[in-house]
Amino acid sequence: MNTKLVLFLGAGFSAPFGHPVMSGFRSAAEDSGTLSRDELSFLSELWERARNANAFLASSQFNLEDILSFFVMKERLDDAGEREDADRLKLILAKVYTHTRNTRGYWRAYDVLRKFLGPAAEGKAVDISVITTNYDLNAESAFYRLGMPLSLGFPAEAVERQAGIVTGNLYGAGGPLLYKLHGSVNWYLDSASGSVGVEGRIVSVFDHHGADMPELPWPCAGDYHRDFEQGVPLIVAPSFLKPALDGPLPKAWRGASQAISEARHLVFIGYSFPPTDVEMRYFLAHSLGRNAGLRSISIVDTRANDIVARLRAPGSWAGAHFQELLRPIEGDWTRSKLIL
């Protein structure tokens, strides 16, 4: 029987590929060059709300989760008109989290996953599942580069929008299962039919002079978000106040829970176990409570030792068995190697 390995990817997994963690979103959004003046003005309004609230609640006006938590609460309490703002925000998030600075070296950057996984990258003696709280396409790109396109655990339809010269697809039947707990920048829910469109195509890209550029996932191509004719992406904005889950998201949570309950090795990459994420504690407790064969819980992070020390400290939410299985791997995951 193959060893079951579950990779749980947090924001720190995507940071080496140029996508911001929560505390760095503001500067990344302002420097990306992908947002219009109106979009930047809209974000400034969100930051202003968070700054005003600081007089009553200690929070960070620069942390995206804090900022959007105020936004979600305002959406709950105010009258009509906020839905349009919520959709506008999702479109902004999609732009920022598909932006890539190094288009020519796009695929080479993902070679680090093969080095990190080592023998597990061959996929012969290890069954891999991937869970992520991110909604960017870094997990898909890394496994595509590895020659193991990921599989989605729900029925999806191809997006019909014209995409130019198609050379591949991020997803493939039979690959490691992917569970995106907060949705994805390339998922689109048809609220009328309940169907989900997924844009996984890889296309040839050309610059303004017609010169051939490297292939890219279509959502990462420069003109993909120009008119958003494909709709608003199905993503859950990173907030401490969680909204109801739509479309395939409940199935993603159930599938992820099942994967964790069967895991032999559970590896957290770039997930810091923030004290505010109470929801994830109960999700992990429910999932691991059904797992009798778990052998290790690895924490791969630049602050892994501190994270493990916090989880093992008196008064921690982590139970005794969870603490016993913890194994820190200190450092940038792109320069580390997984040992099962």
Is the domain of 54 the same as that of 177? no
Asked, for residue 195, whether it belongs to a domain, the answer is no
Is the domain of 26 the same as that of 8? no
Among 96, 128, 143, identify where a domain stops. 96
Is the domain of 174 the same as that of 319? yes
Is the domain of 288 the same as that of 337? yes
Beta-strand pair 196-198/265-269: unpaired
Q: How many domains does the chain have?
A: 2
CATH of the domain at 149: 3.40.50
Residue 27 structural domain: 22-96
pLDDT digits (tens, 9 = 90+) for 129-174: 999 999 999 999 999 999 999 999 888 888 877 777 888 999 998 8
Global pTM value: 0.90
Closest Cα to residue 135, out of 171, 180, 95?
A: 180
Closest Cα to residue 100, out of 13, 216, 233?
A: 216
Is the domain of 9 the same as that of 117? yes
Q: How many CB atoms lie within 10 A of CB 45?
A: 10
Is the domain of 147 the same as that of 35? no
Is the domain of 173 the same as that of 26? no
Q: What is the mean pLDDT of the chain?
A: 84
228 by Cβ neighbours in 10 Å (0-12 / 13-18 / 19+) ranks as middle
Is the domain of 250 the same as that of 128? yes
CB 286 within 8 A of CB 228: no
Is the domain of 10 the same as that of 75? no
Tokens at 86, concatenated: 């919520």
Asked, for residue 229, whether it belongs to a domain, the answer is no
Closest Cα to residue 336, out of 296, 299, 297, 295?
A: 299
pLDDT digits (tens, 9 = 90+) for 278-292: 888 999 999 999 999
Is the domain of 176 the same as that of 262? yes
pLDDT at 228: 60
Distances (CA, A) of 307 to 109, 225, 296, 327: 27, 37, 16, 10
Q: How many CB atoms lie within 10 A of CB 290?
A: 11
Is the domain of 57 the same as that of 150? no
From first to last of its 340 residues, what are the pLDDT tens digits of the chain?
A: 578 999 999 999 998 998 877 667 777 777 777 888 888 888 888 777 777 766 666 655 566 777 777 777 776 766 555 567 778 888 888 888 888 877 788 999 999 999 999 988 886 778 999 999 999 999 999 999 999 999 998 888 888 777 778 889 999 988 999 999 999 999 998 877 778 889 999 988 765 555 556 789 999 887 676 656 668 899 887 766 666 677 888 899 999 999 999 999 999 999 999 887 888 899 999 999 999 999 999 999 999 999 999 999 998 989 999 999 999 999 999 999 998 8
Sequential DSSP letters for 168-179: EESB-TTS-EEE
Please give the backbone phi and psi of residue 329, each rounded to the nearest 5 degrees, phi first: -125, 95
